[in-house]
């Protein structure tokens, strides 16, 4: 038995060729699997999104107040944003993505979570360079910033992103947080001690979490990391 494969969108972008595809695999029956690639990078799949969801759960749990103004860096397939909207304390959610086609997938509801985001009046999708906003935009006082863009602090999608992960770049981002605000970030693989320590030098406190989830493709367990830092 083979699998169904369908290319839903292909766009040339300033940072590489972007592809959205849908497939079915015998192992998962009639379940539609959505996948995103950028150039040679495999960015995400709808099969595995526990770490992206935990980014919102752990990040927002660290904020000790209500009426939250939250920014998510990186839209992807929408799992981080949708999980954030499940928190009733979230009053405003701005999701920033560099790639207009990714925003378009959700606005046209080409991907499954687009409808959820479109129907929630608290949510706004914004096409912009998240890293440039953190470095150059006027300070906007936020309760939480949740980031899911690069694979890891040292494995980035574009070299211009590397400044953000330095102490200087993290301090520039921290200016956008209210006292008691939280920065949380997803990364592939296990947490890296050097980055937790770097966060701890910029923020009042920092910690890392290991997110393990079943991987039926490998018949094993895969691992992601969520870093949480408080200003």
For residue 34, give its domain range.
5-45
Segment 73-86, tens digit of pLDDT: 999 999 999 999 99
Tell me the mean pLDDT in the region 94-121.
Answer: 98
Q: How confident is the model at residue 214 (pLDDT cuts 50, 70, 90)?
A: confident
Q: Are residues 41 and 56 in the same domain?
A: no
- Mean pLDDT taken over the chain: 94
Q: Are residue 179 and residue 99 in the same domain, yes or no?
A: yes
What's residue 3's pLDDT? 52
133/159 same-domain check: yes
**What pLDDT, on the 0 to 100 scale, is given for residue 1?**
39
- 10-41 tens-digit pLDDT: 999 999 999 999 998 888 888 999 999 999 88
Could you tell me the pLDDT band of residue 216, with boundaries at 50, 70 and 90?
confident
Residue spans of alpha helices (H) in the chain: 50-61, 79-85, 100-107, 114-119, 130-136, 167-174, 193-202
- Residue for token pair 């608290």: 122
Q: Which residue has the higher pLDDT, 3 or 64?
A: 64
- Measured in whole angstroms, the distance separating CA 92 from the mean position of its chain's CA atoms is 17
Mean pLDDT of 178-191: 97
Tell me: do 187 and 167 sit in the same domain: yes
Do 73 and 168 belong to one domain?
A: yes
113 and 76, same domain (yes or no) = yes
The tally of domains found in the chain comes to: 2
In the chain, the percentage of residues whose pLDDT exceeds 90 is 84
d(CA 100, CA 95): 12
Global pTM reads 0.94
Residue with tokens 């490998």: 218
The answer to which of 1-10, 72-81, 129-138 has the lowest mean pLDDT is 1-10
112/194 same-domain check: yes
* HSE-up of residue 178 (Cα within 13 Å, Cβ side): 14
DSSP symbol at 169: H
Q: What is the CATH number of the domain that holds 217?
A: 3.40.50.150
d(C-alpha 78, C-alpha 100), whole Å: 14
The lowest-confidence range among 66-75, 88-97, 216-225 is 216-225
Compute the average pLDDT of residues 148-160: 95
> Would you say 161 and 73 are in contact if contact means Cβ atoms under 8 Å apart?
no
Statement to judge: residues 113 and 14 lie in one domain: no
> Which residue's entry shows tokens 């939280």?
182
Average pLDDT on 121-125 reads: 98
What is the pLDDT, as a whole number, of residue 137? 87
Residue 215 has pLDDT above 90, yes or no: no
Q: Tell me: do 85 and 15 sit in the same domain.
A: no
Query: What's the Cα-to-Cα distance from 135 to each of 2, 43, 84, 161, 162, rounded to whole Å?
Result: 48, 24, 24, 11, 12
Give per-residue pLDDT as tens, 36-57.
999 988 899 998 888 999 999 9
Cβ–Cβ < 8 Å for 144, 179:
no
Q: Are residues 107 and 174 in the same domain?
A: yes
Q: According to the model, what pLDDT value does residue 4 have?
A: 82
Short-list 46, 38, 41, CA closest to 18: 38
Are residue 16 and residue 59 in the same domain, yes or no? no
Q: How far apart are CA 120 and CA 224, in angstroms?
A: 28
25 and 135, same domain (yes or no): no
């Amino acid at each position: 038995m083979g699998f169904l494969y369908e290319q839903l969108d292909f766009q040339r972008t300033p940072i590489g060729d972007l592809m959205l595809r849908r497939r079915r695999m015998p192992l998962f029956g009639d379940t539609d699997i959505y996948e995103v690639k950028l150039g040679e990078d495999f960015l995400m799949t709808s099969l595995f999104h526990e770490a992206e969801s935990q980014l919102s759960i752990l990040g927002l749990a660290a904020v000790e107040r209500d009426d939250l103004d939250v920014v998510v860096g990186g839209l992807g397939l929408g799992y981080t944003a949708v999980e954030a909207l499940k928190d009733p304390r979230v009053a405003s959610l701005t999701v920033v993505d560099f790639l207009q086609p990714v925003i378009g997938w959700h606005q046209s509801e080409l991907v499954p979570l687009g409808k959820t985001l479109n129907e929630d009046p608290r949510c706004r999708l914004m096409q912009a360079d998240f890293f440039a906003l953190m470095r150059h935009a006027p300070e906007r006082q936020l309760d939480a910033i949740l980031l899911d863009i690069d694979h890891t602090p040292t494995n980035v999608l574009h070299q211009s992103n590397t400044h953000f992960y330095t102490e200087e770049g993290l301090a520039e981002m921290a200016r956008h947080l209210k006292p008691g605000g939280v920065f949380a970030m997803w990364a592939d693989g296990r947490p890296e001690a050097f980055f937790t320590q770097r966060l701890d030098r910029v923020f009042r406190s920092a910690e890392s979490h290991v997110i393990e989830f079943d991987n039926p493709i490998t018949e094993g367990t895969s691992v992601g990391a969520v870093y949480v830092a408080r200003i």
